[in-house]
Amino acid sequence: MQTALIFLRRLPRVAWLTGFICGVTVGQAHASAYLLLEGGKSYADLTTQSFDRAAAAWLATPTATSAQVSSDDSHTQWRLGAGYAFSKQLAVELYYEDLGDYQAAMNLNGTDGQGAAAQLNATEAVNVSGVGAQLVGQWPLTSHVSLLGTAGVAYLENERRYDASVTNFDAPTQISDANDDSHTWVPTLGVGAQLAITEQLSLRGRYTRYFDAGETDNLPGFDLDMISAGLTWQW
């Protein structure tokens, strides 16, 4: 009888410990590592204000004949990384990515009264790449389909290039160029969806926003929007 009473007093502790062990076991069963590969398109909200002002000032001169400003605000991108899912709802990912090249160009033309020509061609470009980390929240809709939400930070390198050639009427053409790099931490946010094909292989599509991802002397700080699709392989 005394042995039975001792057992009953200890039962809550035994039940709590058993539940804790089961919870750890279930959590470990859901935990898994995976590789990810994604590719897609990135879009920059470029502003060419510096070139626009220079073109407007050139057109105001009597020798100006034309002025054009153009920009390339989209590029292909890719991402390679690895993740670790702590559960069906939460994972963390580390990756390297190349977000592509973005540039603006200006072309100015003019002719003086004697027919001598003047021309300026200038290009400002930046390549954006780096490493990042993000938390991934997953909300299962069915046994195979989940919604994704991401929040993280990226350490990005801006490789900036400036090239210009100037012909000042009858003067010889002058060519100049400049290159420099800078690094910056930027926050990221994203949403997406994932489809499980097998227990190991999944397809995913995502949208990600990079805040103040790039900047040059003639391209003020700009955000990047990335639309990507890819695969994850877990083991």
Tell me the pLDDT tens digit for each residue of 8-23.
344 444 343 334 333 4
Residue 56, token pair as written in the block: 């407007």
Q: Amino acid letter at 125?
A: A
Task: Assign 7 a pLDDT band (cuts: 50, 70, 90).
Answer: very low
pLDDT tens-digit series, residues 47-104 = 999 999 999 999 999 999 999 999 999 999 999 999 999 998 999 999 999 999 999 9
Instruction: Tell me the backbone φ, ψ of residue 229, rounded to 5 degrees.
Output: -140, 150
Q: What is the dihedral of CA 27, 22, 195, 97, to 10 degrees?
A: 10
Instruction: Tell me the backbone φ, ψ of residue 113, rounded to 5 degrees.
Output: -65, -20
pTM over 0.85: no
Residue 178, token pair as written in the block: 């400049």
Count of alpha carbons within 13 angstroms of residue 220, beta-carbon side: 7
**Residues in the chain, how many?**
235
Residue 230, token pair as written in the block: 């890819």
The 10 Å Cβ neighbour count of residue 73 is 17
Q: In the predicted model, what is the mean pLDDT of residues 170-198?
A: 94
Task: Assign 169 a pLDDT band (cuts: 50, 70, 90).
Answer: confident
